[in-house]
Amino acid sequence: FRVKSTNRNGQWADNERALYITIMPPWYKTRWAYILYSVLIALLIFVIVATVTKINRYRNDLQIERRVNDLKLRFFTNISHEIRTPLTLIIGPIEDMLKKDLNNGDKPKLELIRKNGTRMLQLTNQLLDFRKIQNNKMRLYVKEFDIVEFTRGIFDSFAPLATHKNIVYSFSTALEQYNIWADPSKLDTVIYNLLSNALKFTDAGKNVRVAIKHNEADGFIEIQVEDEGRGIEFENLSRLFERYTILSGEELAGTGIGLSLSNELARLHHGEIVVVSELNRGSTFTLRLPSGKEHFEDDSFVEFSDEAGVLVHSAMQPEDDFSDLPAPAGFVDPLDKRTKIMVVEDNREIAEYICQSLSPEYFSCIAGNGEEAINMLSSQNPDLIISDVMMPVMDGMEMTRAVKENFATSHIPVVLLTAKSSVEDHISGVEHGADAYIVKPFNASYLKAVVNNLIEQRKAIIAKFRDNKTIDPSTLRVNSKDEEFLRKLISFVEENHTEEFSIEQLANEMCVSRTVFYNKVKGLTGMSPVEFVRQLKLKVAAHLLTQGYNVSEAAMKVGFNDARYFSRQFKTLFGHLPSKHLEKGSY
């Protein structure tokens, strides 16, 4: 700021004064502001470049994933085509053989092959149908038929399975007849999958209901499949119809395409599948199909049939058909001296196959899951348990732990069968108490060899204990609880060897029931309690003979009033008379 002055005449003087003033810029024009602008612009450019790069990478990854999925699906489709031919060559001759007169032993095995071959063919066809839908090559061969009778036929085919699982199974409709236009083979697949899932995920004593009704509001026919099973979490409902989605636990794992295929087939019929579910309460799947055939008129993939009102039957059969199989039973013959095997398997046909593989050397019974097996143990008292791992209600691992932790059953060997083949799974099985671990698919001869080995090992250990002149429970190689039980029993008998005991008295002394006491002694030593106590007393008598007692005195000391009977029992155990005991240097 500069200042000069003038005189009265207007002449400027030389006396000038200057004031220097610095004007500060606003904050948005400061150096730091411009630095910030530069940083923000650079950051924005970086974010834009990174975002575009990420989008391109995701796009490329998505394309690669789609290509890989397409290659996988194409591969499985090609494999499925290749599988259909040998399956046809298997099923055809088997069906021809079943028409002939066969002995009782061969026919069940051939029927088992036929059923599972047919099931494999059904799964193969589903995969091929799924591929056709993805490629928009699926064709519908639509005809008019009675949906009420058609659905009832599929419902009836599952009745034996529902009865076997003890599920309350019901069908209801107010419609005596209702004709719709649809492709019966495709609709068969949809209803089959809905019913199969409902029965698979519903436990014994619960309900599965099938209902058909006509919705007057929109003209749709509705087929409801309601169950009281495990239900589906709300956040998983949106993913339910995605391909390869398996929402349940490992024991319920499947192919992952059933519901997705069903939903796509319903969509091709201009219908839909609506699901309402609550976790641990159950689910309701509703197949909604439009009436009439006008909705198909613009579809190029639809062909109509003029066979109006034709009766259509389901071509598919439940995976587990129990119509020809006996109900699960225990060891019906208590006098049968064969080794008793309990097979714990939720798939009835596999259980029957295992039993047939072990017959006639072993006597078998079947339990449908771990909980059922635990409940049967007290009455069946098996010598060995063969169990699947992945089962509903209680799996094989939990059952094995329960068996080994229960004093009454801890001595029973357990063989686990499972599709899990990793080292970690093997370790987990051993940690739960399994005596052997066999991976599925298993060879029946190998399974039988493992069972034989475990049984023979047990017999050899028991024989060694029986033949041992001393009384040492450690020779039985049992767990600490069982060894403590035997030591306590042996100690009690030795301390009271002059007395006579009943099984009830010994059971009370050991603080267990008579049944548990008998089964425990029999399982650990291979002898009944009476035989075991007699052998203990004879070994005590042998010790007394070495201490200078004569035969009569030793017999009286251990409760034998008849010296002759004592001598016979002594010779049976030791191979020589009591009088020869010292001469042979025994004990």
Q: Which domains does the chain have, with CATH numbers?
A: 140-304 (3.30.565.10), 339-461 (3.40.50.2300), 468-580 (1.10.10.60)
Distances (CA, A) of 300 to 267, 272, 291: 15, 20, 19
> For the segment 397-453, what is each residue's pLDDT rounded down to a tens digit?
999 999 988 888 888 899 999 877 788 888 888 888 899 999 888 888 899 999 999
- pLDDT at residue 535 above 60? yes
Binned at pLDDT 50, 70 and 90, residue 253 comes out as: very low
E strand or H helix at 321, and its extent?
Answer: none
- Mean pLDDT, rounded, for 83-91: 81
Could you tell me if 141 and 305 are in contact, meaning their C-beta atoms sit under 8 angstroms apart? yes
The reported pTM is 0.61
Task: Kindly state the tokens that stand for 502.
Answer: 């009943």
Q: Which two tokens stand for residue 188?
A: 């068969």
DSSP H helices, 304-413, are 348-358, 370-380, 396-405
Higher pLDDT among residues 466 and 550, named by residue? 550
Q: Which residue has the higher pLDDT, 523 or 26?
A: 26
> Which segments of 444-585 does DSSP mark as H helices, in order?
444-467, 480-495, 503-509, 514-525, 529-546, 551-557, 563-574
Which neighbouring-strand residues pair with 364?
Answer: 341
Find where tokens 């489709």 sit: 77
Per the structure block, which two tokens stand in for 25?
């810029």
Taking Cα atoms as reference points, which of 190, 196, 317, 315 lies closest to residue 260? Answer: 190
Q: Alpha-carbon torsion 122, 126, 132, 138, what sign?
A: positive
Summarised one tens digit per residue, pLDDT across range 548-579 is 777 777 777 777 777 777 787 777 777 777 77
